[in-house]
A = this chain, B = another copy of it.
């Protein structure tokens, strides 16, 4: 028997994400790409990291290179507790777990909550990495509405059809990947109301929260729930944060904030799955965050904000009638809806071949495989001239393939 036949039969074999395979092809030289949802490396706080790392190796290499606790580096958890207090979530380091990026938090939360057949409520579309993290636990997906236009009882009875319960609502709240949209306070309150009725958890993915370019901050769902209940230990919202969009994704440092019974379980999962996140990385992120977070994020907001302006202006200038797109107040993404009948994947083939232009077709962000006429554009890594050039090519490609 080949070794593949020995793999567990419990879960469906993992499948390569078509879209991630595709992404490998898109970021090639000569291609003008709006595909990758990654920070601009030219904006990394490299000097600050270099200085912090040198100082750590000079004064604390014994600690930095050694095993450490699964919970995470205490000074970093204390720094995060300070940030959380600033957004209306006072908490202690015991409410915080450091993860290897927020992707790991999503994996652990899937493992913690989902039995096969349970229901996860997600946006249509949603972050494809969340679907990737939850899929191995074999959930059923249902479409999360933030308008309160679907009754909790409806979700509950649908969930019973696969023998499970609604275990959580997952949502990226600010300038979401892939839509760029923000859930307003009423929507957040509606999600909380529904979660109360369904008695399920809420996973609040705040990966882009710091990157607001205009408009007013909306209170986090966890802050809203805490305001209702007055006690973090009574809250069902689990907040997932990340340094990947603000300081560096390559160091793999994120965090989770939740009631202590949730954190205790996640700490045990962390211990069993990789012991702890790299000690050195947590120390480096702590030093750079402590000294430079606000000023660095302020610079990012200025630069990315200009790119967003450039993209919205270029779309206005170059898109044919019948094409719609979002106007994000922050983050890295604009979401486009093509006229019905057009297909984002077909458009990509044409745009790549004819205009050496790349973006991500939208279907991969839909749990049900719908959304064929959508696509995601990222403005984070392109300068203003490239953005105007790119949107002109995209407009031409759309015109030439529209019927």
Contacts and interface: CB of A to CB of B under 8 A. Distances in A.
Contacts of A264: 16
A23 to B, nearest CB: 10
A104 B272 CA distance: 8
Interface in A184-204: 199-201
A13 B46 contact: no
Interface in A229-261: 235-236, 244, 248-252, 258-259, 261
A396 B6 CA distance: 51
A378 interface: no
A149 interface: no
B265 A132 contact: no
Contact of A251 (B41, B46, B280): B280
Interface residues of A, number: 88
Interface of A: 1-4, 6-10, 13-17, 20, 24, 38-39, 41-42, 44, 46, 49-50, 53-54, 57-58, 61-69, 99-101, 103-104, 107, 111-116, 118, 129, 132-133, 135-137, 167-168, 199-201, 235-236, 244, 248-252, 258-259, 261-262, 264-265, 268-269, 271-281
B113 A6 contact: yes
A88 B129 CA distance: 38
A68 B167 CA distance: 32
Given A114-B8, A251-B278, A50 B46 contact: no
A62 B249 CA distance: 11
Given A6-B199, A66-B250, 19 more contacts: A1-B199, A3-B258, A3-B262, A7-B265, A8-B118, A8-B137, A10-B114, A10-B115, A14-B265, A16-B264, A17-B268, A50-B57, A100-B278, A103-B272, A107-B274, A136-B272, A250-B279, A251-B278, A252-B277
